[in-house]
């Protein structure tokens, strides 16, 4: 039996964190809120509204209502989506594309497990939407990483049990979510230093070297 592989999107397949940064920075600057790349790193894998709460830790104005917060999140998302509109197939590296193709050819089922509500749009723009057998994203979950829901839903959509899934993640919260779901956690990028990961990838293509049948 081949393991199913669930990929986080931002930071693993594509690198939209610079767009998230630009959009949050624009919003923060317009409201006089201090924001930098260190704060942006804390937003990795975190839902939009939870990200806003982190950004607002530096807000010094009068308390904001739920409606005002929703408006701020919408403003950030409008800006982010404008930046996404320039994405194209070249935004996925040859290495990532070739590795996904190889894993698929070997018979692995592939899924996305992303906190983003824009995941389908991104996958569509980079021409990968048909590559995945299931997509679980910010639109089908009520609790975001480190809660395991997004990965458990991906397994459910694939019709496989969680124990037969491996997760590829760049965020600590995502590694925690994978372990909580009872899945094998493979770390890339920022998560590579996290001791809870079962495997660490130096390069995305190393994924093809890990034994993933059982």
Contact region with ligand B16 (CB under 6 A), list: 45-53, 57-65, 100-108, 153-161: 45-53
Q: Does 184 bind ligand B16 (CB under 6 A)?
A: no
Separation between Cα atoms, residue 190 and residue 172, nearest integer Å = 8
Binding of residue 25 to ligand B16 (CB under 6 A)? no
8 binds Mg ion (CB under 5 A): yes
44 forms part of the interface with ligand B16 (CB under 6 A):
yes
Query: How far lies 27's CA from each of 5, 33, 51, 181, in Å?
Result: 35, 8, 12, 34
- Does residue 11 belong to the site contacting ligand B16 (CB under 6 A)? yes
Question: Per CB under 6 A, does 51 bind ligand B16?
Answer: yes
Give the chain's end-to-end CA distance (angstroms, integer). 6
Decide if 8 is catalytic: yes
Q: Which residues have a Cβ under 8 Å from the Cβ of 54 and sit 6 or more positions away?
A: 39, 42, 43, 46
Q: Is 170 a catalytic residue?
A: no
Residue linked to tokens 């807000």: 59
Site for ligand B16 in 97-156 (CB under 6 A): 114-118, 138
- Cβ neighbours around 3 below 10 Å, total: 20
**Joined tokens for residue 25:** 């920075």
Chain residues binding Mg ion by CB under 5 A are 8, 10-11, 45, 170-171
Chain residues binding ligand B16 by CB under 6 A are 8-11, 20, 43-48, 51, 77, 114-118, 138, 171
Active site residues: 8, 10
């Amino acid at each position: 039996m081949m393991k199913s592989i669930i990929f986080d999107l931002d930071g693993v397949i594509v690198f939209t964190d610079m767009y998230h940064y630009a959009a949050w920075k624009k919003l923060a600057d317009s409201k006089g809120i201090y924001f930098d790349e260190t704060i942006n790193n804390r937003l990795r894998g975190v839902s939009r509204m939870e990200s806003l709460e982190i950004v607002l830790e530096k807000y010094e104005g009068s308390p904001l209502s739920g409606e005002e917060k929703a408006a701020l999140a919408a403003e950030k998302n409008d800006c982010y989506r404008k930046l996404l509109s320039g994405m194209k197939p070249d935004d996925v590296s040859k290495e990532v594309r070739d590795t996904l193709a190889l894993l698929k050819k070997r018979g692995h089922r592939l899924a996305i497990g992303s906190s983003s509500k824009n995941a389908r749009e991104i996958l569509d723009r980079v021409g990968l939407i048909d590559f995945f057998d299931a997509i679980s994203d910010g639109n089908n979950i009520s609790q975001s990483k480190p809660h395991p829901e997004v990965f458990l839903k991906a397994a459910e959509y694939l019709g496989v049990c969680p124990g037969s899934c491996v997760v590829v993640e760049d965020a600590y919260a995502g590694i925690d979510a994978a372990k909580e779901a009872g899945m094998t956690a493979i770390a890339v990028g920022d998560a590579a230093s996290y001791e809870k990961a079962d495997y660490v990838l130096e390069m995305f293509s190393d994924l093809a070297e890990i034994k993933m049948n059982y």
